[in-house]
Amino acid sequence: MPRPTAAQFAYGSATVVATTLALLLLFRTESGAGVAAVGTTALILGLLVALRLPHPGHRTAEAGRSTTDRASAAARTHHALEGIGSRERVPSARPSARADEHSLRR
Protein backbone atom coordinates (compact mmCIF):
# COMPACT_ATOMS: atom_id res chain seq x y z
CA MET A 1 0.00 0.00 0.00
CA PRO A 2 1.47 3.37 -0.96
CA ARG A 3 2.31 5.89 1.73
CA PRO A 4 0.00 8.90 2.06
CA THR A 5 1.25 12.15 0.61
CA ALA A 6 1.44 15.51 2.37
CA ALA A 7 -1.56 16.72 0.39
CA GLN A 8 -3.62 13.75 1.60
CA PHE A 9 -2.68 14.50 5.22
CA ALA A 10 -3.48 18.19 4.79
CA TYR A 11 -6.84 17.75 3.06
CA GLY A 12 -7.89 14.95 5.40
CA SER A 13 -6.96 16.89 8.52
CA ALA A 14 -8.65 20.06 7.28
CA THR A 15 -11.79 18.08 6.50
CA VAL A 16 -11.85 16.55 9.98
CA VAL A 17 -11.43 19.92 11.72
CA ALA A 18 -13.96 21.76 9.53
CA THR A 19 -16.53 18.96 9.73
CA THR A 20 -16.19 18.69 13.49
CA LEU A 21 -16.68 22.41 14.02
CA ALA A 22 -19.60 22.57 11.59
CA LEU A 23 -21.42 19.59 13.12
CA LEU A 24 -20.86 20.76 16.69
CA LEU A 25 -22.20 24.22 15.85
CA LEU A 26 -25.06 22.84 13.78
CA PHE A 27 -26.34 20.29 16.29
CA ARG A 28 -25.26 22.13 19.46
CA THR A 29 -24.45 18.87 21.12
CA GLU A 30 -23.24 18.81 24.70
CA SER A 31 -23.51 15.13 25.60
CA GLY A 32 -20.54 12.81 25.43
CA ALA A 33 -22.27 10.43 23.02
CA GLY A 34 -23.11 13.29 20.66
CA VAL A 35 -19.55 14.57 20.64
CA ALA A 36 -18.27 11.04 20.01
CA ALA A 37 -20.70 10.61 17.09
CA VAL A 38 -19.63 13.95 15.59
CA GLY A 39 -15.94 13.06 15.97
CA THR A 40 -16.42 9.63 14.41
CA THR A 41 -18.36 11.11 11.50
CA ALA A 42 -15.69 13.75 10.93
CA LEU A 43 -12.88 11.16 11.02
CA ILE A 44 -14.65 8.94 8.49
CA LEU A 45 -15.29 11.89 6.18
CA GLY A 46 -11.65 13.03 6.48
CA LEU A 47 -10.45 9.53 5.63
CA LEU A 48 -12.68 9.40 2.57
CA VAL A 49 -11.43 12.78 1.36
CA ALA A 50 -7.80 11.75 1.83
CA LEU A 51 -8.28 8.46 -0.01
CA ARG A 52 -10.04 10.10 -2.97
CA LEU A 53 -7.09 12.40 -3.74
CA PRO A 54 -5.06 11.12 -6.71
CA HIS A 55 -1.49 9.99 -6.16
CA PRO A 56 1.14 12.16 -7.88
CA GLY A 57 2.47 9.39 -10.13
CA HIS A 58 -0.92 7.92 -10.96
CA ARG A 59 -2.35 9.00 -14.31
CA THR A 60 -5.27 7.55 -16.18
CA ALA A 61 -4.92 6.39 -19.78
CA GLU A 62 -7.05 9.26 -21.08
CA ALA A 63 -5.12 11.88 -19.13
CA GLY A 64 -1.82 10.56 -20.49
CA ARG A 65 -2.81 11.14 -24.11
CA SER A 66 -2.00 14.38 -25.83
CA THR A 67 -4.58 16.45 -27.66
CA THR A 68 -3.20 15.43 -31.06
CA ASP A 69 -3.43 11.75 -30.14
CA ARG A 70 -7.08 12.18 -29.20
CA ALA A 71 -7.80 14.16 -32.37
CA SER A 72 -6.17 11.55 -34.63
CA ALA A 73 -8.03 8.75 -32.85
CA ALA A 74 -11.30 10.62 -33.39
CA ALA A 75 -10.50 11.10 -37.09
CA ARG A 76 -9.70 7.39 -37.52
CA THR A 77 -12.97 6.47 -35.82
CA HIS A 78 -14.88 8.89 -38.05
CA HIS A 79 -13.38 7.40 -41.23
CA ALA A 80 -14.06 3.86 -40.03
CA LEU A 81 -17.68 4.70 -39.30
CA GLU A 82 -18.16 6.22 -42.77
CA GLY A 83 -17.43 2.84 -44.36
CA ILE A 84 -20.07 1.07 -42.28
CA GLY A 85 -23.00 2.82 -43.93
CA SER A 86 -22.00 1.95 -47.49
CA ARG A 87 -23.71 -0.91 -49.34
CA GLU A 88 -20.49 -2.58 -50.44
CA ARG A 89 -20.49 -6.32 -50.40
CA VAL A 90 -17.75 -8.10 -48.55
CA PRO A 91 -16.19 -10.83 -50.69
CA SER A 92 -16.69 -14.23 -49.15
CA ALA A 93 -13.80 -16.54 -48.54
CA ARG A 94 -13.27 -19.29 -51.09
CA PRO A 95 -14.02 -22.75 -49.77
CA SER A 96 -10.83 -24.61 -49.03
CA ALA A 97 -10.17 -28.01 -50.50
CA ARG A 98 -8.90 -29.18 -47.13
CA ALA A 99 -11.75 -27.78 -45.01
CA ASP A 100 -12.45 -31.22 -43.48
CA GLU A 101 -8.86 -31.76 -42.29
CA HIS A 102 -7.59 -30.79 -38.86
CA SER A 103 -5.44 -27.64 -38.80
CA LEU A 104 -2.41 -29.49 -37.40
CA ARG A 105 -2.28 -31.93 -40.34
CA ARG A 106 -0.24 -30.82 -43.32
User: What pLDDT, in 10s, does the model give residues 21-30?
Assistant: 999 999 998 8
Q: CA-CA distance, 38 to 22, in Å (whole number)?
A: 10
CA–CA distances in Å: residue 25 to residues 17, 35, 44:
12, 11, 19
Residue 12's Cβ-count burial label (10 Å; 0-12, 13-18, 19+) is buried
Instruction: Annotate 28-61 with b (16+ C-beta within 10 A) or e (fewer).
Output: eeeeeeeeeebeeebeebbeebbeeeeeeeeeee
Percent of the chain with pLDDT over 90: 33
Q: CA-CA distance, 66 to 59, in Å (whole number)?
A: 13
Examine the pLDDT at 4 and tell me if it is beyond 70: yes
Q: CA-CA distance, 35 to 46, in Å (whole number)?
A: 16
pTM of this structure: 0.50
Residue 86 pLDDT class (50, 70, 90 cuts): low
Examine the pLDDT at 87 and tell me if it is beyond 60: no
Examine the pLDDT at 38 and tell me if it is beyond 70: yes
